[in-house]
Structure 1
C-alpha cells in the first residue's frame, strides 16, 4: 500500500497527537488535578473517621467527575486517569500530603478528635474541603 498525498495531513495529525500525549507530565505533577484530589481525599478521610461529620456524596462525586473530565480535556486517556486514581503509591503519597496538611493546620491527623476539629474548622472557613462536608451535631 502506498501513502496517498491526501493522507499526509491525517498521518501528521496522528503522529503529532501521539507525540503530544507522550509529552504529558504524570497526573501527580498537574497541580489542578493532584491538589484537588488531595482536597477530596481529605474530605473523605474526615467523613470516614469523624462520627459528627458526613461527606456530601453527590457534591463529591460531581467534583471528581469534573476532575476526570478536566484530565481528559488536558489529553490524558481513561487508562492514564484510572492508573493514577487506582495507584497504591499515589494513594499513599496523597495520604501523607493530607496528614501533613492537617498537622500544619494545627490538628492531629491520626485521631478522630483531630480530624473532627479539622473538619469543623474547614466547614467554618468555607474551604473546598469544608464544602464537601456537613456537620451532624
Structure 2
C-alpha cells in the first residue's frame, strides 16, 4: 500500500511548539485522519475512476499538523513519529482492515471503485479526499 509519502508527511506534520507529553500516535484525531488519508490514497491508486484531491489532502494534513501543534508536540517528536516504521505499519494495517470491512477484495480491482464511490456518496472523510 502506498500509504502516505514521506515528503507529504514531512511537509504536513512538521510543527513547532512546546514539548508535549506522550506520543503523537496517541492523538486519536491525528491517527484517524492519517488512516482516512491512507485509505483515500489506496482507493485512488487502485481505482482509475477516482482521483485523490491532493490540494484538499494537503490542507487536511495541515489541519492534523495544527492538532499536534495544539497538543504541544515538538518538531523532534513529530519527526520521530513520521519516521516510525512500526507506527506506519500499524496504521497501514488498520487502513487495510477498514477497506476490507467496507468490501475491498485485493484480488478484485472493481471493489476498490465500489468502495471509493460509496465513500464519496456518503461524504465520509475518505470520500472528501476523493473525486
Length-normalised TM-score, structure 2: 0.78
Q: Which residue of 1 aligns with 2:38?
A: 41
Is the helix fraction higher in 1 or 2?
Answer: 1
Is the strand fraction higher in 1 or 2?
Answer: 1
Are 1:88 and 2:85 matched, yes or no?
A: yes
Q: Which residue of 2 aligns with 1:11?
A: none
Length-normalised TM-score, structure 1: 0.75
CA contact (8 A) 1:39 1:129 kept: yes
2:101 is aligned, of 100, 104, 109, to: 104
CA RMSD, 1 decimal: 1.7
Q: Structure 1: 5+ residue runs without aligned partners?
A: 1-16
1:31 is aligned, of 25, 28, 32, to: 28
Q: d(CA) in 1 for partners of 2:71 and 2:40?
A: 25
Instruction: Tell me the CA shift for residue 111 of structure 1.
Output: 4.4
In terms of mean alpha carbon deviation, does 86-95 or 110-119 score higher?
A: 110-119
Q: Which residue of 2 aligns with 1:126?
A: 123
Q: Which residue of 1 aligns with 2:64?
A: 67
DSSP 3-state at the match of 2:95: helix
Q: d(CA) in 2 for partners of 1:64 and 1:75?
A: 17
Q: d(CA) in 2 for partners of 1:81 and 1:110?
A: 35
Q: d(CA) in 2 for partners of 1:78 and 1:116?
A: 37
Structure number with the bigger relative contact order (C-alpha 8 A, sep ≥ 6) is 2
Q: Larger Cα Rg: Structure 1 or Structure 2?
A: 1
Q: Structure 2: 5+ residue runs without aligned partners?
A: 1-17
